Amino acid sequence: MTCNGGQRPTEDRGLTPTGAGRGSGKVTAVGLLGDALAAVAGMSYEQLLTERVLAPLGMSATAVTVPPERTDRLMGGHSRRGRPRPPIQDFMPAAGSLRSSADDMLRLLAACLEPPDNTLGAALRLSQQPQARIGKGCRWAVLVHRNSPQPPPGGLA
């Protein structure tokens, strides 16, 4: 993101741009938020997510905990050296521990494109709206992988 003639909004305040560098706290923050929401609801994060999001959207093949009879459907990961690795078990489920099927992802996409007429639909619509202004003349830029061609100077409009 760039503002006002290409100056990055965080440079003048000594802040690190979102997602920059190792050890970014975003994942931890999302994990803690999930834990807090679950504690307030009096149930596990997986139960809360299933009750309030997954079940209403008909996403029955999405879960944090994959039952043993479905583990053969999991796509395995690999190490840097190409060795098979077991699925990651995260201690903060909201930080990215969901396993889903392509069909369920299409159900989520459909709900995002045409939100249901209920509180979940209202939340989906709200999640697609800008929530903060950063300043005059700001625009988003597409970040590219370090081995990909770089965006033009000043970012992408």
The reply to whether the predicted model has a pTM over 0.75 is: no
Per-residue pLDDT of the chain (157 residues; tens, 9 = 90+): 334 444 444 444 444 444 444 555 778 888 899 999 999 999 999 999 999 999 999 999 999 988 888 888 887 788 899 998 877 777 888 888 888 999 999 999 999 999 999 999 999 999 888 776 666 655 554 444 455 454 444 444 4
Distance CA 97, CA 107 (A): 19
Distance CA 98, CA 109 (A): 16
Count how many Cα atoms sit within 13 Å of the Cα of residue 136 in the half-sphere of its side chain. 0
> With b meaning 16 or more CB within 10 Å and e meaning fewer, what string describes 49-65?
bbebbbeebebebbbbe
CA distances from residue 87 to 46, 91, 97 in whole angstroms, order as listed: 17, 13, 9
